[in-house]
Structure 1
Amino acid sequence: MTEVLRPHAEDQYAEELAILAKEDDRPRPPGWRLSPWAVTRYILGDGDAITPKYIGPRRIVEVAVATLATDRALLLLGLPGTAKTWLSEHLAAAISGDSTLLVQGTAGTAEEAVRYGWNYARLLAEGPSRAALTPSPVMRAMERGALARIEELTRMPSDVQDALITVLSEKTLPIPELNEEVQARRGFNVIATANDRDRGVNELSSALRRRFNTVVLPVPATLEEEVDIVTRRVAQLGRSLALPQTVTATEEIRRVVTVFRELRSGVTEDGRTKVKSPSGTMSTAEAISVLTNGVAMSAHFGDAVLRPSDVAAGIVGAVVQDPVSDRVVWREYLETVVRERKGWEDFYRACRDAG
């Protein structure tokens, strides 16, 4: 696994999962590798051997885990960058030991991605048979009694979304061509993620939405919480990308996170000044990306100390998605807010030069 750029959660955290499995003496739902209590401990960490994978309200994680122990599917709903995909991957890793049964929703996703397809060479040569059938990740999850993950459910066409209704309500996938069906084994369920505010969204039908228990993932509640999340993820990404060691200044991370939070919310952290928001989402994930790029800049082209000049271009690129309207928003924020802050002089100059 040392050559893999991004190991799957069950591989990257195999030691932690093994520790939890060894210590876990609580009741486990059928087909689960860990009890709901141990899954929650894996997700939130314990301050000791288990590192936190998600930083947020404990109750949200408990509701998500409890949902998966019932016959209801789980829909993780939230703005981009609220760790929907990250949480779904780790839930699947802890519960099923396999986070790879994944359907990526796009405008071009076909029904075969949810149900099944065919090996057309064998189909033409032999006719319809189980050997000629190509199972989808959802079908494989049903056969194994595992969790299937569906990313960006609302980006999929409505008729493809509705192919899930029978799977979720009857726990059965009919194969009329063979006069057969696949019945889900104990442990099967579905985790879907969706973003209702993004472009290209296809609303879920009421019939499908009723099959899900929806959990809304919020943006980090406080500046300190978001700084903690960003600091942890930047460090993890730096290790996985084998970036040269740098001195990551906490103050620089705090500045970037502050900018993102203020532009996202439309008001400064002290609540005194209203600011315009750009067209982008200004998510935590984008802040992590900006800072990871800054660490790479500092390591390869700087003095291995994260400075304003290393992150300025990344911030401008994240904010100015629309070259006309967003540039006006950024310049106004830079001149009316950043310029006036004590201790932000270098940051202001770097951002102004980068813009």
Structure 2
Amino acid sequence: MARFPFSAIVGQDEMKLALLIAAVDPLIGGVMVFGDRGTGKSTAARALAALLPPIAVVEGCRFGCEQPGQCPGPCTGSKAVRQPVPFVDLPLGATEDRLLGALDLERALRTGERVYEPGLLARAHRGFLYIDEINLLEDHLVDLLLDVAASGQNVVEREGLSVRHAARFVLIGSGNPEEGELRPQLLDRFGLSVDVRTPREIADRVEIMRRCAAHDADPASFAAAWADEDGKVLQQIARGQRKLAKIEVPEAVMVDAARLCSAVGVDGLRGELTLMRAGRAYAALKGAKAVRREHLVRVAPLALRHRLRRDVLDESGSGARIERALDELFA
């Protein structure tokens, strides 16, 4: 069944922008999406993964290696084939062994060989790892996930095994704050954060129903009708990836980022660093040669809203606090 086209998603512009930034710069640290149920969180993530061009993977490789000889374990493949970008769901009931990988017990009992069986992190390599209701996932698993996402390496030392393999993926978490909050120290490790709400405009809700009905009736025809728009998005991502390394960050923009983070009370320097990385990715998406203040202003809520301390005397929310600081600093 054809995936719902990314460009056919109605509204949710901030969520789509965060996903595009993560696609241009996977090192951004992932995207955390908080919001109501049924607002297209997983649909948007899956649509973006399906939109991206296939990647080269060694035939039969369980670690998603791009070229022969890169595997940490036995690999029989000798040539690369084209495969879709991985999109892996992490269920809430997953064990540590299923996530990281473990000893293949069946093979060990049958042949006596100690062979590593890759986990979900290996399957997600060079793709997306999606966790619905991440605020309900066990804390030690979230810790492991964020460590691997930051390092790009999965290291397994157990049961006589010592395995290290690449695990570079875009981590996307979603959750409903009413069902439990993510610990602040873990939330801070995500690069971008988005708040998604149910559309209030009647016209938007009707258009969503119309497009979902058309997709359910004939997924292939619906995808074909949006192929040109999805193609434009794909070109924008590809251009952004090519330009990213060449994007300049002027001194004045760095000062702006530091002033903003200081004004809203962001602890540590991760806020500035993520803000600059997101600004560069957004500038690359827009085809600019350097990061400008307007780029910082656009991505500031995404990069900073989840890093602010909760102010019990201010019920306006972190997004509103950032907007006020932007108005005061940059008019």
* TM-score, structure 1 normalization: 0.47
Q: Which has the higher strand share?
A: 2
| Greater RCO (CA < 8 Å, at least 6 residues apart) | 2
* TM-score, structure 2 normalization: 0.50
